């Protein structure tokens, strides 16, 4: 919240330090609902609209700058209450510009505030400067330089120092979630091979693709190029030497489960024993409808998932025992060649506390989670309780975490909330490691179009190498 009389310099200061969309100006809202920025008769409607905009942006956790005089104690209390209701910090920036400067700037305006009104506002500004300290704001500041830090990076500097002083290891995986790269389909194979080679060079230990036949709405458009998952991993098996290869995560609705075991075993053999089998219950109805699969009810998909977790190790193990599951019957679990690994790791994607994490505890070698460190700690606490019920050591479960991240230079524009400097990303991943994550799987939004994206991530990876 900005506080100061007209002419104090609030709007100029805000425009130079915040994105235009983050600044909510009472004058601009007067112009929207009235005859112009100085239409005092539209003031009530403008402030009602301001309160609505502030509430909606706060609901989404967005940084918002209220550009008004901030001289009305009732309005200040309302704005502060909105921040508190959404568990957001609230700061006041107080402009103590002298009266003479404010009056001179006001006279230079095309539509100056009447002198009598301005006198009253200058008098009010002098008193609010004293009162605002006791109103409960998280900080009361003089105007100065501002660095916008996304919420996930607030604690990052301290965590980065911990990583410097007492390093902990953390593996990094790379998720290749977009394949619509410059050059189109003709250049896709070369670009994919180059990315895989660079990933190994910078210390990435696993490569992952999504199991979708259409691009999903949270990533891109339906008509974007998107490669089939296991065909892509087969290609990568021949272009890499060290990284593990997996699908995050395989939809149990797409394939016959015994056939899936054959596909993964083949990948393991051709990659020299580097396959990881991620499994999930599937969710994207659009692709199921377009490809004629149909999306079964969730209960049925969980039955498929549990059958997969039980059948696949049988298909990869000694002998050819029969299997009769909830959804699948196999007279003989026959799969040759066997995988090179004694056990291809089975990872489950999802963090449902009742059923998914119970399946992880009973059957899986790993699980993939989302969310901030507090969420990860909570989910792993739930997993630990499930493991205790089964007399299993929860430490046996390898925990991965999928997130979006890109590394930017200090002071650079941040295109999304996950963009941060090297130190900020180091701190962010140190917090996740402390929460129990062993592999950080990173999706880099600009990976295809920006040749330097992985190079910028390399120093973060290096800080966690054992």
Q: 2-146 domain in CATH 3.30.390.50?
A: no
pLDDT one-digit tens code per residue, 30-54? 999 998 888 888 889 999 999 999 9
| Residue 281 φ then ψ, to 5° | -85, 0
What is the C-alpha separation between 28 and 24, in angstroms, rounded? Answer: 8
pLDDT of residue 277: 98
- Band of pLDDT at residue 337, cut at 50, 70 and 90: very high
CATH 3.40.50.300 domain span(s) along the chain = 2-146
pLDDT of residue 129: 77
Looking only at the bridges linking them, the beta strands covering 329-330 and 323-324 are antiparallel
- Band of pLDDT at residue 61, cut at 50, 70 and 90: confident
Average pLDDT over residues 352-371: 97
Alpha helices in 203-336 (DSSP H): 229-239, 257-270, 285-290, 298-316
110 pLDDT higher than 90: no
pLDDT one-digit tens code per residue, 386-398? 999 999 999 999 9
Nearest to 2 by CA among 146, 151, 143, 150: 143
CATH 3.20.20.30 domain span(s) along the chain = 156-462
What is the C-alpha separation between 29 and 108, in angstroms, rounded? Answer: 22
Other beta carbons within 10 Å of 238: 11
* 156-462, CATH topology level: TIM Barrel (3.20.20)
């Amino acid at each position: 919240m900005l506080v100061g009389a007209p002419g104090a310099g609030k709007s100029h200061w805000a425009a130079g330090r915040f994105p235009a969309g983050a600044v909510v100006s009472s004058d601009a809202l007067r112009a929207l609902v009235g005859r112009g920025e100085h239409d005092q008769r539209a003031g009530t409607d403008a402030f009602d609209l301001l309160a609505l905009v502030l509430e909606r942006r706060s609901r989404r956790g967005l940084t918002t700058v209220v550009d008004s005089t901030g001289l009305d104690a009732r309005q200040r209390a309302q704005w502060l209450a909105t921040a508190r209701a959404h568990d957001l910090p609230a700061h006041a920036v107080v402009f103590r510009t002298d009266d003479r400067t404010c009056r001179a700037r006001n006279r230079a305006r095309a539509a100056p505030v009447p002198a009598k009104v301005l006198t009253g506002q200058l008098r009010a500004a002098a008193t609010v400067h004293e009162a605002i300290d006791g109103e409960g704001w998280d900080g009361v500041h003089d105007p100065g330089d501002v660095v916008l830090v996304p919420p996930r990076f607030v604690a990052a500097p301290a965590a980065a120092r911990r990583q410097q002083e007492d390093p902990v290891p953390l593996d990094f995986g790379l998720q290749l979630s977009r394949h619509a790269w410059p050059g189109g389909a003709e250049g896709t194979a070369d670009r994919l091979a180059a990315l895989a080679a660079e990933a190994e060079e910078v210390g990435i230990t696993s490569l992952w693709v999504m199991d979708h036949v259409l691009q999903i709405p949270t990533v891109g458009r339906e008509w974007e190029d998107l490669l089939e998952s296991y065909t892509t991993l087969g290609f990568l098996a021949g272009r890499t030497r060290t990284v593990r290869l997996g699908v995050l995560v395989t939809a149990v609705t797409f394939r016959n489960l015994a056939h899936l075991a054959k596909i993964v075993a083949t990948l393991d053999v051709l990659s020299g024993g580097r396959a990881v089998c991620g499994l999930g219950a599937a969710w994207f109805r659009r692709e199921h409808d377009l490809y004629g699969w149909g999306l079964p009810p969730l209960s049925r998909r969980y039955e498929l998932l549990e059958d997969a977790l039980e059948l696949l190790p049988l298909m990869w193990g000694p002998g050819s025992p029969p299997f009769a599951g909830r959804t699948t019957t196999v007279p003989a679990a026959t799969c040759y060649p066997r995988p090179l690994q004694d056990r291809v790791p089975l990872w489950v994607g999802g963090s449902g506390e009742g059923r998914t994490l119970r399946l992880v505890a009973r059957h899986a070698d790993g699980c993939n989670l989302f969310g901030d460190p507090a969420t990860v700690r909570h989910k792993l606490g739930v997993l630990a309780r499930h493991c205790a019920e089964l007399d299993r050591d929860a430490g046996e479960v390898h925990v991965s975490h999928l997130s979006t991240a890109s590394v930017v230079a200090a002071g650079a524009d941040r295109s999304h909330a996950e963009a941060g400097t090297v130190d900020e990303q180091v701190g962010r991943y140190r917090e996740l490691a402390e929460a129990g994550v062993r592999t950080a799987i990173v999706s880099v939004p600009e990976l295809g179009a920006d040749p330097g994206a992985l190079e910028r991530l390399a120093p973060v990876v290096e800080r966690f190498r054992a």
